[in-house]
Amino acid sequence: MKLLYGIGVGPGDPELLTVKAIRVLREADYVFVPRPKMDERGMAEAIVADYLDANKVVYLHFPMGPDNAERYKETARRIDAAIQEGECGAFITIGDPMVYSTFTYVMFEARKCGLKIEIVPGISSSHAAAAALQWPLTIKQESSYLADGHVDEDVLRRVQSVCVLKPRKEPLDTLNKLEEQGFEYAYIKRCSLPEQEILRDREAILNDKEYMTLLFARKRRER
């Protein structure tokens, strides 16, 4: 049997890696490391750098841009070819493997190749943001909404908190909807890292171009 772990490495701070993630990285026969450019270290790789054995690393090219079904299939085939019977590999991904993760698509294809999959969950950016702001994601009798760039007004009416990943997609529309529905919001850049920055000013948020960001909001009530 061939085993592939999907390992969530957390939002950025290496100290937020789980003990299990570190153990699996050390014990795996191969560690599959995605890179946006093959000559440029990505964020997930930077987080786990202290735990990587260079002799085990297999780099995978994942350029920024639209999803590419063929790329996922080819990646799964490459992983399957690398792992031999009785061996295991570990694929690292920012945050949690089951939350807006490239690994999810690789997992679907890897299953078709006959690989057994195990997931090592990681701390997601939404949880890290809630901690940084000390705003709860949810409390008793509340609901929370996780969105990828676009927010649905009907959903906003029914929830008390929302986390928007990739808020640069529709920043003006998103802020307008949040304000109309009575949300207070904060925009977090590079959450959990030493250079973390929190913006609350509307114009500063609209003018920011940082990629590693999220928008966290709660309805104006007790936090």
Q: Three-state SS across 47-100?
A: HCHHHCCCCCEEEEECCCCCCCHHHHHHHHHHHHHHCCCCCEEEEEECECCCCC
d(CA 149, CA 171): 8
Label each residue of the chain as H, E or C.
CCEEEEEECECCCHHHCCHHHHHHHHHCCEEEEEECECCECCHHHHHCHHHCCCCCEEEEECCCCCCCHHHHHHHHHHHHHHCCCCCEEEEEECECCCCCCHHHHHHHHHHHCCCEEEEECCCCHHHHHHHHHCCCCCCCCCCEEEEECCCCHHHHCCCCEEEEECCCCCHHHHHHHHHHCCEEEEEEECCCCCCCEEECCHHHHHHCCCCCEEEEEEECCCC
Domain boundaries 125-219, corresponding CATH code: 3.30.950.10
Spans of all domains in the chain: 3-120, 125-219
The predicted structure's pLDDT at residue 67: 66
Residue (of 148, 155, 162, 168) closest to 213 by Cα position: 168
The predicted structure's pLDDT at residue 66: 66
Domain boundaries 3-120, corresponding CATH code: 3.40.1010.10
Domains 3-120 and 125-219 share a fold: no
The predicted structure's pLDDT at residue 110: 98
Burial letters 176-189, b for 16+ CB under 10 A, else e:
ebbeebebebbbbb
The predicted structure's pLDDT at residue 65: 65
The predicted structure's pLDDT at residue 69: 87
| Residues in the chain, pLDDT under 50 | 223
- This prediction has a pTM of 0.93
